[in-house]
C-alpha cells in the first residue's frame, strides 16, 4: 500500500451526513433570541457531527443597551472592555454547546457584525442568524438580508421565539430560477433528515401544466439523492406569495421553509424581491435561504 493510500485508509470513517455538513456557524449576541438560536445550531451540529463555530462582531463605540461608550474612555480601555464582552459571548456559546458537539470554535472581532459574519462564513457550510437587527443597537447591528446575500453560504434565519429542532417537517418553495435550484441543492443534507417534505410551487406566470412538470423533475432530483417528497402541489397565487407560503407551512405543520433568496445591489444597498423581504421580516418559522 502506498503512503497516500495508507493515509486515506487511516482516516476515520465519516457518515454521509457528516461529510455533507462539516461546520455550522452561529451569530452570538446579547439579543433575547440568542440562546434559542445557539441551541438550534448545537442540535444541527450534533446531528451532523459538525464543528460549531460562534461568531460575533463588536464595533468600538458599541455597548450593551446603548449606542455609544463613554466619550472619555481611553482607546486601550475601550478595546479591553469590548474584548471582555466578546469573551462573555464566547463563554455563553461554550456553556450551551457543552459536550453536545465534537468541537467548538470562536471568532470574535472588533468590526461591523455584517462584515464579520460574511467574512467568517468562508469556514462554514451553514450560517445561523436571527431574522432582525438587535433592537437597541440599530446603527451597529447587521441587516440579516445583507448577510444572506454576501455570505456565499446557505443561511438559516431563526425568528425570535422559535425553539426545538427545526427541519422535521419542511416546505420547499419551488420556482424555476437559479436561486431556487441552488436552494434545493444546498438544502439536501437537511432534507435527508426531514420526516415530511412538501414541495410547493405558487404559479404566477407559469402555465399549470408546466409547473407540474417542473415539480415532477424536482421530485425525481430529490429522490436520486435519497430524499422522498411526501406531497407536492401547484397553487395559484392569492395575494402575497410569502403569506401564502406561511399558510401552506402552517397547514403542513412545517417548522422550516426552504427557499431561494432574490436580491441585488443598487447604489451600494441590497434590493430584495418581495418574497425574500417578507420571509425575512415576517416569517414566524425558520427559513433556510440560499441565493
Last residue of a domain, one of 158, 177, 211: 158
Domain boundary among 158, 192, 207: 158
Range of the domain at 83: 16-158
How far, in Å, CA of 189 to CA of 15, rounded?
Answer: 12
Query: How far is 27 from 9, CA to CA, in rounded Å?
Result: 36
Give the span between the Cα atoms of 26 and 117, in whole angstroms: 9
CA distance 247 to 173: 12
For residue 1, tell me if it sits in a domain: no
Spatial CA neighbour of 275 closest among 265, 290, 262: 262
Lookup result for grid cell 430560477: 177
Write the CB contacts of 224 (distance below 8 Å, at least 6 apart in sequence): none
Q: Say whether pLDDT at 103 is over 50.
A: yes
Question: For residue 214, which of 195, 188, 233 has the smallest C-alpha distance?
Answer: 233
* CATH code assigned at 226: 3.40.50.620
For the stretch 172-210, pLDDT in tens is: 999 999 999 999 999 999 999 999 999 999 987 667 888
| Better-scored residue on pLDDT, 52 or 279 | 52
By three-state DSSP, how is residue 233 classified? strand
CA torsion 125→182→254→21, rounded to 10°? -20
| Number of domains composing the chain | 2
Is residue 204 located within the same domain as residue 89?
Answer: no
**244 and 237 in contact (C-beta within 8 Å)?**
yes
Residue 132 sits in the same domain as residue 188: no
How confident is the prediction for the chain on average, in pLDDT?
84
Report yes or no: 26 and 51 within 8 Å, Cβ to Cβ.
no
Distances (CA, A) of 14 to 10, 19, 49, 104: 12, 6, 9, 18
pLDDT in tens, 43-85: 999 999 999 999 998 876 655 544 454 455 677 777 888 889 8
Q: Per the domain annotation, does 242 fall within a domain?
A: yes
> Of 96, 128, 158, which residue constitutes the final position of a domain?
158
Q: pLDDT class for 273, splitting at 50, 70, 90?
A: low
Question: At a CB cut-off of 8 Å and minimum separation 6, what does 26 contact?
Answer: 37, 38, 41, 52, 53, 54, 55, 93, 127, 128, 129
Cα 8-9-13 angle, rounded to 5 deg: 90
Instruction: Give the per-residue pLDDT at 249.
Output: 97
Statement to judge: residues 144 and 217 lie in one domain: no
C-alpha R_g of the chain = 20
The secondary structure element, H or E, covering residue 46 is: helix 34-48
Residue 5 domain-assigned (yes or no): no
Amino acid at each position: 500500500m502506498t503512503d497516500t493510500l495508507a493515509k486515506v485508509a487511516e482516516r476515520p470513517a465519516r457518515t454521509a451526513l457528516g461529510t455533507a455538513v462539516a461546520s455550522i456557524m452561529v451569530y452570538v449576541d446579547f439579543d433575547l433570541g440568542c440562546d434559542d438560536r445557539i441551541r438550534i445550531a448545537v442540535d444541527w451540529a450534533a446531528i451532523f457531527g459538525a464543528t460549531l463555530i460562534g461568531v460575533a462582531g463588536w464595533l468600538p463605540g458599541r455597548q450593551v443597551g446603548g449606542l455609544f461608550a463613554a466619550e472619555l474612555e481611553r482607546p486601550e480601555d475601550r478595546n479591553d472592555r469590548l474584548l471582555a464582552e466578546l469573551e462573555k459571548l464566547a463563554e455563553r456559546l461554550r456553556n450551551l454547546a457543552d459536550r453536545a458537539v465534537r468541537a467548538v470554535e470562536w471568532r470574535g472581532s472588533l468590526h461591523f457584525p455584517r462584515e464579520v459574519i460574511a467574512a467568517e462564513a468562508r469556514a462554514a457550510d451553514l450560517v445561523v442568524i436571527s431574522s432582525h437587527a438587535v433592537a437597541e443597537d440599530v446603527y451597529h447591528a447587521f441587516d440579516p438580508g445583507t448577510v444572506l446575500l454576501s455570505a456565499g453560504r446557505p443561511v438559516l434565519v431563526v425568528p425570535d421565539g422559535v425553539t426545538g429542532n427545526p427541519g422535521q417537517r419542511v416546505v420547499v418553495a419551488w420556482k424555476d430560477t437559479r436561486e431556487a435550484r441552488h436552494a434545493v441543492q444546498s438544502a439536501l443534507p437537511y432534507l435527508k433528515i426531514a420526516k415530511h417534505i412538501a414541495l410547493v410551487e405558487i404559479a404566477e406566470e407559469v402555465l399549470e401544466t408546466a409547473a407540474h412538470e417542473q415539480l415532477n423533475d424536482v421530485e425525481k432530483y430529490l429522490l436520486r439523492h435519497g430524499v422522498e417528497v411526501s406531497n407536492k402541489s401547484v397553487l395559484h397565487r392569492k395575494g402575497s406569495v410569502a403569506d401564502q407560503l406561511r399558510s401552506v407551512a402552517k397547514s403542513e405543520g412545517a417548522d422550516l421553509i426552504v427557499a431561494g433568496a432574490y436580491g441585488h445591489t443598487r447604489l451600494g444597498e441590497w434590493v430584495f424581491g418581495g418574497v425574500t423581504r417578507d420571509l425575512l421580516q415576517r416569517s414566524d418559522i425558520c427559513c433556510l435561504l440560499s441565493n
